[in-house]
Amino acid sequence: MTVDRNTMPGDWDALVDRGEGGSRPTPTTDPGPLEPPTLTVMASAWADLVGILAVCTGALVAILLLGERPALPAFVWAAALGFVWWAFAAAVLVVVRQATPGMLLAGVSFSEPIEPRRVGWVLTAALIGVVTLGLSGILRGRNSILRLAASSEIVNGAA
């Protein structure tokens, strides 16, 4: 808080030098949202896969810590747990932040909010990216599976 008033400055979290004026310099031109590189879109699918596998690994480690040896049914259970966690987290994040967990980790998001009736299609498209190990991210622009499912452009910068 500032000494002379009881309010927070609007740029309290700025990482740039504020100079004498105390506020960030405003950019003169706004380039608008840019389409992310193909590798970044592919990386978002990889990050979704890593999120699913992290929950699987955590479940199997928990079984080991309980003193049991994981059998084949435990692996199936852990994979199902990872998928259920990802589906729930992705559904919430698509509605709230306009991106799946992997998209947020890769630094991309949809340019507009996703309609609730399209959330299932977005999750399906993201899972296709996970199953193909990100190769569905090669399709860009109007042909992108995620863009078609969300009916919104994919842009740099998480929402």
Encode the chain (159 residues) as per-residue pLDDT tens digits.
555 667 777 666 666 555 555 555 555 565 555 778 888 888 999 999 999 999 999 999 999 999 888 888 889 999 999 999 999 999 999 999 999 999 999 999 898 899 999 999 999 999 999 999 888 878 765 677 888 888 888 888 765
Using an 8 Å Cβ cutoff, are 93 and 72 in contact? Answer: no
Burial 38-69 (b: 16+ CB within 10 A, else e): eebbbbbbbbbbebbeebbeebbeebeeeeee
pLDDT of residue 104: 92
Burial 112-146 (b: 16+ CB within 10 A, else e): eebeeebbebbbebbbebbeeebebbeeeeeebbb
Using an 8 Å Cβ cutoff, are 13 and 118 in contact? Answer: no
pLDDT of residue 65: 94
